[in-house]
């Protein structure tokens, strides 16, 4: 049973309103953007002191206890936990809305940050156990919508300041452009606030909380924005009216809507413009406007539902225009028309795994192009990219050959819905395929707990990473595990050796069978690197708390004494080593000499990367990323001639400029290091493994290929860069 048991045992359940933020109306002397644990509201009554929350530590003096999820199975306990989490979430919502009403936008978003997301995840888990009534989904809606609404309000206020500055400067054209931006922002805000108010009502009805105060604060914010918008619109723009004459209401693609009418101001004066844009049925139609304000527009229905009974025709003035937008609703009856879709032939004679395929789709009705029409495309069971048709009725369909594309595979295009005014029979075109050879790399090493970590990379003969495929892991010919390749083709598995196998003599083999794919099978074998090997491959048990190199070496890996102290502090905060080992690291970092003896570069780099792998094995992904980055910095710093004072992003830019590392790989590694070292957030095991592989590819690009012999386990595996850690 997946339940996060976080119960306060010292007080009974007590409902907490959204506005019950301790003395929320009187911000402290702290920075307004700082919302610590003291701002969160306990739904279970007072704790013996304010809750202090840190990224990786638990304050045991708060009265919060953690129960075994398997023991939190009593219905009353689950209901109590759900009420507690609801109180936490409502308190965060109340804090966010209050900060928003006070114009503290960063703090308003921070109140719905990681703490809120963490409580929401737990709430959804518990709600699933007790069969809740869906409040979790509303809390999720609030999280996503309110963050966006805060941005909208902030942008509105800033744009309003720019607007006032333009007016004072006498720049009427710029002022009108900004006024239109304000109108759009206000409309967006109205839609967002309506969603939030609905969610607040649902939450209040389905939980013990009361978000009435938050609703009132939010409504007041939006009312103020709408009032300012109306004032600016009346000041800047001349109101207009759109009149239409008689027309044929029965319309289709072959029998379009033709509207004749006039565009005038409220007092009947013709709008002074040579042409005008009108929005109709999701399309923009341009029409000439005569001096007396008369116009005629033609609209062909394509993407609107055939059941549409009316259309809104909206006049869209240019941003710098003095005229206000206006609209008119016209009744219609839509008939469906069948079009014809055709696909061009692929240009290549054959395509293999990861190859790009592109064809041209055209949609026409009796030779007339169907423009702005959305199509759906697929290839071999996977989605393909296909934008809406252009003015010529054409769409460029593109896809990448997946591993599952075998035999006769086709690109298919179809309407993206079955109720549009234009439809067509799906069209297909066959894509010739060929199989492609693969190569599999492997390394195996013993860990401190005597298990064996097996990792490597699967790629094609052309060097393309092969993702999402299963690799069988065997020891002395007996299959013991299976691993799945990631986005970079990398795989990783931790296995226990069979009881009759010897670490010193056993061999590890991996195999990809290629079954059900367009890829040929491959295999590889490696011996096991021992943890007590003299080259420092082992985990080590020195004073560094699990790191096999002296903290003084880290001074040369990362830049400068201050940075060493910071990295050591990061490692200490995240490491589970005993207090004595931690104290040794801190003392070593603090007593750094001005001129330490530089270790051998190759030894330091290998030590750092092997240590990163060991940190992964021991469940310390943040440590792994920090140490892997340290190895990269040590390796590239000397090659690029970069001094120790450079920040990590300065270091990244200078390495790229010097051409010593691929930009994408180094940028993703730097972003991952930044998160692991400074954000206080945890990096996932999968992301950490990808980043360590990226570090290996950057430090030793010549060693990232496959082993030259089948029994070699010393070659490092290449890895494509992963994206920045989110």
- Residue 445 pLDDT exceeds 90: no
Q: Considering only residues 416 and 55, tell me which one the structure prediction assigns the higher pLDDT.
A: 416
In three state form, how does the secondary structure of 73-113 look? CCHHHHHHHHHHHHHHHHHHHHHHHHHHHCCCHHHHHHCCC
Q: Is domain 240-334 in CATH 3.40.50.10480, yes or no?
A: no
Handedness of CA 600, 601, 602, 608 (dihedral sign): positive
pLDDT band at 656 (very low <50, low <70, confident <90, very high): confident
pLDDT band at 171 (very low <50, low <70, confident <90, very high): very high
Mean of the per-residue pLDDT values for the chain? 78
What does the buried/exposed string (b/e) look like for 615-647 if buried means 16 or more CB atoms within 10 Å of the residue's CB?
bbbbebbbbbbbbbbbbbbbbbbeebebebebe
Correct CATH for 340-432 of 3.30.930.10, 2.60.40.10, 3.90.76.10, 1.10.287.3510: 2.60.40.10
Lowest mean pLDDT among 58-67, 616-625, 645-654: 58-67
Quickly list H helices, 618-684.
621-640, 648-658, 663-674
- Residue 644 pLDDT exceeds 50: yes
Average pLDDT on 360-367 reads 96
- Residue 37 pLDDT exceeds 80: no
- Structure confidence at residue 680 (pLDDT): 57
Q: Catalogue the long-range contacts made by 161-166 (C-beta closer than 8 Å, 24 or more residues apart).
A: 163/232
Other Cβ atoms closer than 10 A to 543: 17
- Residue 107 pLDDT exceeds 80: yes
Rounded to whole angstroms, the Cα distance separating 436 from 517 reads 10
Other Cβ atoms closer than 10 A to 573: 15
- Structure confidence at residue 237 (pLDDT): 94
DSSP at 701? G
Using CB atoms within 10 A of its CB, is residue 330 exposed (0-12), middle (13-18) or buried (19+)?
Answer: middle
Q: Per this entry, what is the length of the chain?
A: 726
Rounded to whole angstroms, the Cα distance separating 186 from 57 reads 43
- Structure confidence at residue 557 (pLDDT): 41
Average pLDDT on 149-154 reads 96
- Structure confidence at residue 612 (pLDDT): 83
Average pLDDT on 228-245 reads 94
- Structure confidence at residue 701 (pLDDT): 65
Average pLDDT on 365-379 reads 95
Rounded to whole angstroms, the Cα distance separating 273 from 293 reads 8
Average pLDDT on 41-66 reads 36
Tokens standing for residue 382: 């996977």
Percent of the chain with pLDDT over 90: 49
Lowest mean pLDDT among 184-198, 506-520, 634-648: 634-648
8 A C-beta contact, residue 547 and residue 540? yes
SS3 (DSSP) at 697:
helix
Tokens standing for residue 70: 């398997």
- Any idea of the CA torsion for 528, 533, 537, 541, to the nearest 10 degrees? 120
Rounded to whole angstroms, the Cα distance separating 496 from 513 reads 23
Rounded to whole angstroms, the Cα distance separating 105 from 709 reads 60
- Structure confidence at residue 43 (pLDDT): 33
Average pLDDT on 548-561 reads 39
- Structure confidence at residue 604 (pLDDT): 54
- Structure confidence at residue 384 (pLDDT): 94
- Structure confidence at residue 651 (pLDDT): 84
Percent of the chain with pLDDT over 70: 74
Average pLDDT on 455-479 reads 92
pLDDT band at 408 (very low <50, low <70, confident <90, very high): confident
Q: What is the pLDDT of residues 584-638, one digit of tens each?
A: 333 343 343 344 444 444 445 556 778 888 888 777 888 888 888 888 888 888 7
Q: Considering only residues 197 and 610, tell me which one the structure prediction assigns the higher pLDDT.
A: 197
Other Cβ atoms closer than 10 A to 448: 15
Question: What end-to-end distance do the CA atoms of the chain give, in Å?
Answer: 28
- Structure confidence at residue 25 (pLDDT): 39
Picking from 89, 109, 88, the residue whose alpha carbon sits closest to that of residue 97 is: 109
Which run of H or E residues covers position 685?
Answer: helix 685-699
Q: Considering only residues 228 and 649, tell me which one the structure prediction assigns the higher pLDDT.
A: 228
Q: Considering only residues 303 and 28, tell me which one the structure prediction assigns the higher pLDDT.
A: 303
Picking from 75, 86, 66, the residue whose alpha carbon sits closest to that of residue 20 is: 86
Are 240-334 and 438-527 equal in CATH topology? yes
Picking from 590, 530, 595, the residue whose alpha carbon sits closest to that of residue 564 is: 590
Average pLDDT on 519-523 reads 96
Using CB atoms within 10 A of its CB, is residue 131 exposed (0-12), middle (13-18) or buried (19+)?
Answer: exposed
Lowest mean pLDDT among 146-150, 254-258, 597-601, 608-612: 597-601
Which superfamily is assigned to 438-527 in CATH? Answer: Immunoglobulins (2.60.40.10)
- Residue 576 pLDDT exceeds 50: no
- Structure confidence at residue 74 (pLDDT): 54
Rounded to whole angstroms, the Cα distance separating 215 from 88 reads 17
- Structure confidence at residue 132 (pLDDT): 67
- Structure confidence at residue 515 (pLDDT): 93
- Structure confidence at residue 639 (pLDDT): 78
Which run of H or E residues covers position 334?
Answer: strand 333-334
Picking from 101, 109, 185, the residue whose alpha carbon sits closest to that of residue 142 is: 109
SS3 (DSSP) at 439:
strand
- Structure confidence at residue 672 (pLDDT): 84
Correct CATH for 601-698 of 1.20.120, 2.60.40, 2.60.120, 1.10.1740: 1.20.120
Average pLDDT on 417-422 reads 90
- Structure confidence at residue 511 (pLDDT): 96
Picking from 433, 456, 447, 448, the residue whose alpha carbon sits closest to that of residue 510 is: 456
Using CB atoms within 10 A of its CB, is residue 35 exposed (0-12), middle (13-18) or buried (19+)?
Answer: buried
SS3 (DSSP) at 409:
strand
- Structure confidence at residue 670 (pLDDT): 86
- Structure confidence at residue 650 (pLDDT): 74
pTM for the full model? 0.56
Average pLDDT on 718-723 reads 36
Using CB atoms within 10 A of its CB, is residue 666 exposed (0-12), middle (13-18) or buried (19+)?
Answer: buried
How is the chain split into domains, by residue range? Answer: 75-236, 240-334, 340-432, 438-527, 601-698
- Structure confidence at residue 606 (pLDDT): 57
Picking from 627, 638, 623, 621, the residue whose alpha carbon sits closest to that of residue 690 is: 621
């Amino acid at each position: 049973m997946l339940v996060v048991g976080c119960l306060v045992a010292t007080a009974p359940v007590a409902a907490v309103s959204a506005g019950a933020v301790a003395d929320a109306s009187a911000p402290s002397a702290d920075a307004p953007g700082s919302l610590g644990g003291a701002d969160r509201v306990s739904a279970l009554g007072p704790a013996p002191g304010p809750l202090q929350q840190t990224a990786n530590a638990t304050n045991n003096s708060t009265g919060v206890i953690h129960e075994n999820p398997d023991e939190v199975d009593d219905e009353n306990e689950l209901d109590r936990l759900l009420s507690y989490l609801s109180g936490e979430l409502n308190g965060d919502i109340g804090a966010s809305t209050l900060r928003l009403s006070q114009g503290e936008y960063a703090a308003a978003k921070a109140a719905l940050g990681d703490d809120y997301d963490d409580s929401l995840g737990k709430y959804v888990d518990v709600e699933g156990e007790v069969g809740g009534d869906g409040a979790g989904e509303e809390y999720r809606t609030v999280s996503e919508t309110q963050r966006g609404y805060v941005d909208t309000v902030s942008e509105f206020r800033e744009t309003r300041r720019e607007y006032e500055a333009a007016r004072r400067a006498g720049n009427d054209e710029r002022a009108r452009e900004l006024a239109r931006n304000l109108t759009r922002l206000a409309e967006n805000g109205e839609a967002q606030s309506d969603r939030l108010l609905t969610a607040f009502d649902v939450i209040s009805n389905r939980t013990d909380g009361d978000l009435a105060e938050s609703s009132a604060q939010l409504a007041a914010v939006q009312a103020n924005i709408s009032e300012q918008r109306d004032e600016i619109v009346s000041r800047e723009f001349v109101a207009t009216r759109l009149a239409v004459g008689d027309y044929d209401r029965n319309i289709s693609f072959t029998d379009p809507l033709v509207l004749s009418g006039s565009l005038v101001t409220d007092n009947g004066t013709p709008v002074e413009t040579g042409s005008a844009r009108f929005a109709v049925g999701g399309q923009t139609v341009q029409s000439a406007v005569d001096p007396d304000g008369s116009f005629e527009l033609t609209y062909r229905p394509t993407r609107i539902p055939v059941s549409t009974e009316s259309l809104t025709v909206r006049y869209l003035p240019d941003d710098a225009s003095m005229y206000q937008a206006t609209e008119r609703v016209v009744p219609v009856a839509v008939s469906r028309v069948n079009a014809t879709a055709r696909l061009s032939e692929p240009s290549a004679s054959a395509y293999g795994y990861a190859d790009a395929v592109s064809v041209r789709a055209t949609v026409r009705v009796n030779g007339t192009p169907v423009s702005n029409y959305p199509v759906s495309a697929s290839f071999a069971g996977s989605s393909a990219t296909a934008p809406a048709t252009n003015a010529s009725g054409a769409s460029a369909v593109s896809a990448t050959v997946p591993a599952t594309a075998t035999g006769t595979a086709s690109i298919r295009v179809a309407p993206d819905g079955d109720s549009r005014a234009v439809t067509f029979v799906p069209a297909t075109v066959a894509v010739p395929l060929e199989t492609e050879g693969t190569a599999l790399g492997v390394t195996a090493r013993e860990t401190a707990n005597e298990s064996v970590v097996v990792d490597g990379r699967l790629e094609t003969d052309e060097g393309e990473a092969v993702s999402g495929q299963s690799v069988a892991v065997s020891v002395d010919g007996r299959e013991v595990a299976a691993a799945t390749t990631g986005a970079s083709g990398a795989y990783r598995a931790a296995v226990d050796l069979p009881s009759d196998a010897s670490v010193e003599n056993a061999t590890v083999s991996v195999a990809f069978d290629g079954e059900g794919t367009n890829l040929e099978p491959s295999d590889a074998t490696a011996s096991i690197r021992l943890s007590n090997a003299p080259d420092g491959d082992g985990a080590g048990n020195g004073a560094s708390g699990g790191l096999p190199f002296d903290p003084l070496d880290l001074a040369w890996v990362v830049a400068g004494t201050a940075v060493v102290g910071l990295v050591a502090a990061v490692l200490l905060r995240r490491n589970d080593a005993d207090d004595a080992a931690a104290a040794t690291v801190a003392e070593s970092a603090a007593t750094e000499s001005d001129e330490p003896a530089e270790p051998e570069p190759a030894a330091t780099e290998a030590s750092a990367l092997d240590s990163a792998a060991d940190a992964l094995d021991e469940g310390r992904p943040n440590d792994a990323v920090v140490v892997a980055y340290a190895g990269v910095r040590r390796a590239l710093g000397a090659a690029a001639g970069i001094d120790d004072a450079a920040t990590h992003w300065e270091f990244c830019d200078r390495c790229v400029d010097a051409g010593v590392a691929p930009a994408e790989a180094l940028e993703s590694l730097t972003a991952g290091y930044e998160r692991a070292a400074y954000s206080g957030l945890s990096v996932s095991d999968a992301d950490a493994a990808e980043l360590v592989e990226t570090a290996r590819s950057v430090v030793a690009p010549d060693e990232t290929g496959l082993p030259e012999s089948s029994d070699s386990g010393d070659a490092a595996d290449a890895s494509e860069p992963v994206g920045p850690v989110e």
